[in-house]
Structure 1
Amino acid sequence: MSSQEIINELNKVKFGLGLMSFTWRPDPYPQSAFNESVLATIKKNLPNKTFVNGGEFYGANELNLKYIKSFLDTYPEQRENLIISIKGSISFAEQRVLGDRENINKAIDNISKYIPNLDIFEIPRIDTTVTLEETFGALSDAVDAGKIKAFSVSEVNANTLEKISKISNNPIAAVEIEYSIFSRDILENGVAAKAGELGIPIVAYSPLARGLLTGQINSTADLPEGDLRSHFDRFKEENLVKNQQIVDFVVKAAKEKDVTPGQIALAWIRYQSFKTIDGIKFPKIIDIPSTTSVKRVDENFSDVVLTDDEFEKIQTFIKDVKVSGLRYNAQAEKSLFL
């Protein structure tokens, strides 16, 4: 399957599944929960493929890759129903992405031990210590060599997205960006417009704003001890208080429609695929909520859709509301939109 064929399949995907939350936590979910959620999501997407998004570094000792391998070993017949995207080539010791040719090839080789015939390799951020030509020349060569079918990028700006598209001999399969009612940067910085112009699908991570849009996190007391989110600005008490009006609006909209707040938040994103809104011609958008149980699969991957009037009501509200707090924190924000 070529890179363009991967893009064509992504454009048909109804629901995507983020795999990080299963393993990148102090108490990983069991393999059984992982298997059940992936199987249930596949069932929701059939006859089309299911996009799953994992990481070489999502958990200690490559646990995320081990879970994926175990799933594929147990259910080999399901491989044809999956488009598997894996992030890799990162150094926690140096706290940066390794975008040089040697480390990219090393990461692809390592991932391939767990997932032969990998669909998409994703570079998690831009490595500013090497040129774009080195990073994306290496990834394009890996596609040409048949080591991966396609590559994707994450947290890049519009100019970088265009530069990469010109550097590579192969099309960019997707651009992964945080996108939600809370995080709408891509509407203002040109990323959504450029992705639409180039026909690159958007993978929207944290579409529920890391749980804020479920209506279940109203204070720092609602976060489990040791939760990674406690390090992020939007989960500081003062910002939770300031942003409560957004959560309250979504909760109210959900009650009016007799659905959950999360379903409203996801339906808002899904409404935008392939539409032209406020001058932006959107490409396909695949949201990838963390969905760690079959119950959540049923909730997150429902057939809830917004009417035009419901969407416009949300648009009118959010245009007049300022979100308080950074998506991450000052240090982590330095690696965004490079």
Structure 2
Amino acid sequence: MHVLLTGSSGWLGRFLAPMLRAAGHAVTGLDVAPGRGTDIIGSVADRALIDRAFAERGIEAVIHGGALHKPDIARYPAQAFIGVNVTGTRNLLEAAVAAGHDRFVMTSTTSLMISQAVRDEAGDAAVWLDEQSGPLEPRNIYGVTKLAAEGLCRVQQLEQGIGCTILRTARFFPEDDDTDASLSGQNLKANEFLHRRLTVEDAARAHLVALERTPPARCETYLVSAPTPFCREDAIELKRDAAAVIARHFPEAAELYARRGWQLPASIGRVYDAGLAQRQMGFRCATAFAAILTALANDAAMPFIHDADYVSPAVQS
């Protein structure tokens, strides 16, 4: 297929574009910033640009990874999020329907599932999050607009019959967490593979699988995260004494962490369950927490990318 990949210069796009090509797909990359996988410089909010791209490039499917993200809240007004994340998604969906496409893949985010109550983690148990969790009450303009974009996908499926797959990806950014400096960046990322993170390579692979397996005339939503070792029955103890639960699953973890001078989480307040993607789409992240421990045991490089100095190409430009 000839795929239009939006956000092609971004962190996901730089891994996804070559993966698509290696799988035999032609790729036209579209982004507001230049990049190795980007052919068209411009915004998804520009409907005329989108229409030209479809007409001139023979686009057969869309992977919509372009968006303004949570860190952009400090740089752009709310209207910019609406223009890119909402209007841009509508432009692409309508162009795809007009072109007779049968599939559309959109990158969404688990962030829209985190209400203020979930964020506060004030309960006695870890919150178990999957595709049935709700009500959805995003706490910032990023989450609000991504939820609206998901709604547009569902409306286009209902009204026009196009198949859509929405991937609510957990964390895979390379930079440090701008809200948590309690641990080193690598330590924090390693911990998150227990309950709320995946590698960028796995995020890209999920999109490739979604492209090839999007069901006709349906709209499906999948949470995508590294497989958690925990189950719902662990939720109370995870909140009270996460180290004890981790020790049952990974007896060697505490010693391996101590060698590196790292800390395991004392409490885990939320867990992302990506089981539905495996059951329905046949996708499971290749990298899980066990790979972190293997790397520690072998004094090897971590199986994820950490780059404290990473800056989005859109910001650099």
TM-score, length-scaled by structure 2 = 0.36
TM-score, length-scaled by structure 1 = 0.34
